Structure 1
Amino acid sequence: TGGDAGAAAGGGTPSKGVNFAEEPMHTDSENGEEEEEEAPADAGAFNAPVINRFTRRASVCAEAYNPDEEEDDAESRIIHPKTDDQRNRLQEACKDILLFKNLDPEQMSQVLDAMFEKLVKEGEHVIDQGDDGDNFYVIDRGTFDIYVKCDGVGRCVGNYDNRGSFGELALMYNTPRAATITATSPGALWGLDRVTFRRIIVKNNAKKRKMYESFIESLPFLKSLEVSERLKVVDVIGTKVYNDGEQIIAQGDLADSFFIVESGEVKITMKRKGKSEVEENGAVEIARCSRGQYFGELALVTNKPRAASAHAIGTVKCL
């Protein structure tokens, strides 16, 4: 991904975002899989230098992060006042940032409060490879080149075009910046300081993953999976919030997912002929699911249409 420069093109539309020159940067494992040329006959007497296209960054295991070691209120909240226009632009810039997807509304509000606007000029270095990380950046507007230094020579490996984010890896793992980001036009960024980033985003993501692992481990029909397989399931979990009365699944529809209730309550109903105790829509309530309980898996197992409908009771968050 380009190390510090990479996480992020914000998942937006392909017309604008992050673009890599020629090809994305290779990881060590990818480099190890390249085709090998035949060694010369006297290879034993010649030690060829190992050539790495990109500078190897410091180990990402520099500092283990335990979210349970920090208290939420250990640091006072940082608030940078904003005009309504600034707040709207910030929300628009952040809406597709993957790191923010799992934050609840209160946490997201704290992140937006703590972010500050940084105006940049053409040619300005936003971050420099090898420096300590102080801020995470979200692009509001402008174009930026990604440079990685190899053997003292900087090479442009990609660019951002009016969207995306960068700088998270140095904050998450306490490693030096893995790339240099240079503005190629006047632009504006939103910065988030290291303390707030780690207190809210890193801690939240670690706790969410731990909770998701616990949910997956408790599901009877996934008990047969190996630990590594369950972790892969955790990796693809998404979340969605439903409002009171909103339909989550509909009886008779084709199934493409199942659901775990993270918070709130879900009503399961089924349309049955000849039943007197029915609701207005002709369905009878057959069950309710609360936190940690799941529904919708049967249609996936049997490869048949949904056998029942599910509606939110109050605000519901499902995995």
Structure 2
Amino acid sequence: METEGINDDAYKAWGTVQSPAAPDEPQRTKRQAISAEPTALDPSQLTDVTLTSYCKNKESSELIQRALMDNDFMKHLEHGQILTIMDCMHPTSLAKGCCVIQEGDDGSTVYVLEEGMVEVTKQGKKICTIGQGKVFGELAILYNCTRTATVTALTDIKLWAIDRQGFQTIMMRTGLIKHSQYTDFLRSVPSFQSLPEDILSKLADVLEETHYSDSDYIIRQGATGDTFFIISEGQVKVSQQNSNDEQVTVKTLSKGDWFGEQALKGEDVRTASVTAVGDVTCLVIDRESFKQLIGGLDDVHNKQHDSDEVKAKLQAEGDFFSSVSLNDFNIICTLGMGGFSRVELVQLKNDPNRSFALKVLKKRHILDTSQQGHILSERRIMMEAHSPFIIRLYRTFRDSKYLYMLLEACLGGELWTLLRDRGSFDDGTTRFYTGCVIEALAFLHSRGIIYRDLKPENIILDHRGYAKLVDFGFAKKVGLGKKTWTFCGTPEYVAPEIILNKGHDSSADCWSLGILVFELLSGSPPFSGSDPMKTYNIILRGIDMIEFPKKITKSAANLIKRLCRDNPSERLGNQKNGVKDIQKHKWFEGFNWDGLRQGTIDSPFTPTVDGPLDNSNFDYFPEDTEEPPPDEESGWDLEF
């Protein structure tokens, strides 16, 4: 049972612009992105954190386990995680009439009701009652959010509770410990020792745990096989048939040993039998998964170094922008508004033909919502992002009240507006815009940067109609083969591993790309519920549970499903050829990638842009009358 909503993430414009509604049409509103507070947990020290467990009798333990297994969100966790959460839940009792959750408060705790009844009300209206053995308040353990309903005790009640910090520690810890064990196992196999760390890390993600009972055959001599095994628990017996057809034990293998590696090379007739001695757990990988991961992960055209010509151009640009100040610009109008930023169209006073977009951020709001890290990361990443498919950031300024980002002006309007007005796009149009996004992601991913907020709201068109990514507030330099844990993104676009707090990397962008293709072709995203938690639960059920509309062709549906695989290491774009695998997919057959990169192919829609000051492709926004207080004392923005 979910009783919560979302904090307005707030600091973005060109991404969370609220469009004025036309009086006679249903309003398709822009979606808010969510950013959890950065996790206070340091992954390197997590294994040393001691979790506090609370005594429970058998009945309570079983009731909590059943409640968790019965909950739409919790049932997706691993059995070991459910047991640890149950172990760490602490008891609390409240008398009849007491308030468990108050609408409007910040929430950080999830509850299991063991005894009694509670009532859920929203704005004074009764929604439902909840009885024993049920979970409620689960959105609060994903990120800091405002409770959108009140829960009151109808009788004396007994609850079990765990807070966000405890839950996230358990989730991160189990994943990290398992991943480091798997990586160590792999590292001990001689034929894997030369593999780079990021590939070992991906192999560890793709290993599947398989259990065997005493005397089970794991491999039979003479059979064909494509699977490689590492023993993580127990012992196995290796035997071969002699000339008298008798099974002769050759050796016994135990934890850390491996067998079947020839199958990964393609020599797949088994030369011995392997049987379990007692209970055995193996980590298993098949040849197909192995082949997908072992290969040159570098995307060649993204590894090109800038030519001298490009370097000279960037140097000249840098020199020019280092000498301009805020006073050199006239403000023309507002292009977009977010929770506490706005984007202004500005003109260079001494060169009226040059216009820019100036993103203006209120320092006070940034500090109040602890977004300093995101802002500085956005600046750092954008200053280095020299791709024709990413909006350029030329320079930043600051004064006592605001931070300013001087951006390239793209006056073709937002892709979101075009989608809103047209309803959906055909294959060719979608292919073009998706191609632009893929080029932007290829640039970022080859540099170890993840974007994390892909959606039509964050794609803007230039005067030619080519698409560029804007709004890098959630982008993060993670490094190749590394993961990060902060919950962020827009609910409909968030990958399952972000929801389940498993740690995520650039493969989360591959998932979002699949969602984007679906939305551009059909007009709405595949996963969406009446509140964020419902959306997350639908995402966790998987793409195969979604009925695709007729207008999505077979090959487009195949691409979407391969981008939206639950297991990140199976996703197209996250395997040995990286983004090339997406570009080679049959849906892109015949698409002119070189023409796209060189800007020589026609865009499906050429916006009308009459000169550098034409804002007609943007909605109208009133002036900002609210003056924020100055903020002189915080030292963090000295780097800005």
TM-score, L = length of structure 2? 0.29
Query: Is the 1:111–1:192 contact (alpha carbons within 8 Å) kept by the matching residues of 2?
Result: no
Query: Is the 1:270–1:284 contact (alpha carbons within 8 Å) kept by the matching residues of 2?
Result: yes
Query: Is the 1:255–1:300 contact (alpha carbons within 8 Å) kept by the matching residues of 2?
Result: no
Aligned equivalent of 1:41: none
Structure 2 CA distance for partners of 1:294 and 1:181, relative to 1, 3 Å: farther
How big is each residue's C-alpha offset from its partner over 1:128-162, in whole Å with a ceiling of 9 and x where there is no partner?
8993432388xxxxxxxxxxxxxxxxxxxxxxxxx
> Structure 1 counterpart of 2:56, which letter?
I
Aligned equivalent of 2:14: 50
Superposition deviation, residue 198 in structure 1 = 5.2
DSSP 3-state at the match of 2:198: helix
Take 2:221 and 2:237, find their aligned partners in 1: how far apart are those partners?
13
Aligned equivalent of 2:49: 70
1:256 aligns with 2:226: yes
Superposition deviation, residue 293 in structure 1 = 0.8
Take 2:203 and 2:249, find their aligned partners in 1: how far apart are those partners?
30
Superposition deviation, residue 127 in structure 1 = 11
Larger-gyration structure (1/2): 2
Query: Is the 2:213–2:279 contact (alpha carbons within 8 Å) kept by the matching residues of 1?
Result: yes
> Structure 2 counterpart of 1:135, which letter?
V
Structure 2 CA distance for partners of 1:291 and 1:89, relative to 1, 3 Å: same
Superposition deviation, residue 234 in structure 1 = 0.8
Take 2:179 and 2:14, find their aligned partners in 1: how far apart are those partners?
38
Aligned equivalent of 1:93: 70
Aligned equivalent of 1:246: 216
Superposition deviation, residue 180 in structure 1 = 7.1
TM-score, L = length of structure 1? 0.53
Superposition deviation, residue 256 in structure 1 = 3.4
Aligned equivalent of 1:79: 56
Take 1:113 and 1:89, find their aligned partners in 2: how far apart are those partners?
13
Take 1:196 and 1:202, find their aligned partners in 2: how far apart are those partners?
10
More helix by share: 2
Superposition deviation, residue 192 in structure 1 = 6.0
1:176 aligns with 2:140: no
Correspondence list, 1:112-191, <5 A: 112=86, 131-135=106-110, 167=138, 170=141, 175-177=143-145
Structure 2 CA distance for partners of 1:165 and 1:227, relative to 1, 3 Å: farther
- Percent identical among aligned pairs is 25
How big is each residue's C-alpha offset from its partner over 1:229-272, in whole Å with a ceiling of 9 and x where there is no partner?
11110111221222222222222333232111112111111223
Query: Is the 2:220–2:272 contact (alpha carbons within 8 Å) kept by the matching residues of 1?
Result: yes
CA RMSD of aligned residues (A): 4.5
1:215 aligns with 2:185: yes
Aligned equivalent of 2:549: none
1:193 aligns with 2:162: yes
Take 2:185 and 2:239, find their aligned partners in 1: how far apart are those partners?
24
Take 1:90 and 1:271, find their aligned partners in 2: how far apart are those partners?
51
Take 1:251 and 1:129, find their aligned partners in 2: how far apart are those partners?
65
Query: Is the 2:226–2:266 contact (alpha carbons within 8 Å) kept by the matching residues of 1?
Result: no
How big is each residue's C-alpha offset from its partner over 1:197-237, in whole Å with a ceiling of 9 and x where there is no partner?
45654433321211111111221111232211111101112
Query: Is the 2:212–2:279 contact (alpha carbons within 8 Å) kept by the matching residues of 1?
Result: yes
Structure 2 CA distance for partners of 1:169 and 1:205, relative to 1, 3 Å: farther
Superposition deviation, residue 313 in structure 1 = 1.1
Aligned equivalent of 1:233: 203
Superposition deviation, residue 86 in structure 1 = 4.3
Query: Is the 1:80–1:116 contact (alpha carbons within 8 Å) kept by the matching residues of 2?
Result: no
Correspondence list, 1:16-31, <5 A: none
> Structure 1 counterpart of 2:280, which letter?
V
The number of aligned residues is: 222
Take 1:215 and 1:127, find their aligned partners in 2: how far apart are those partners?
48
> Structure 1 counterpart of 2:54, which letter?
R
DSSP 3-state at the match of 1:248: strand
Higher RCO (CA 8 Å, separation ≥ 6 residues): 1
Take 2:36 and 2:65, find their aligned partners in 1: how far apart are those partners?
37
Structure 2 CA distance for partners of 1:113 and 1:70, relative to 1, 3 Å: closer
Superposition deviation, residue 81 in structure 1 = 5.6
1:316 aligns with 2:291: no
Instruction: Note the residue ranges of structure 1 that are not aligned, 5 or more in a row.
Output: 6-47, 118-124, 138-163, 183-189, 276-281
DSSP 3-state at the match of 2:34: coil
Superposition deviation, residue 91 in structure 1 = 7.8
Instruction: Note the residue ranges of structure 2 that are not aligned, 5 or more in a row.
Output: 6-11, 17-30, 92-99, 113-134, 151-158, 284-640
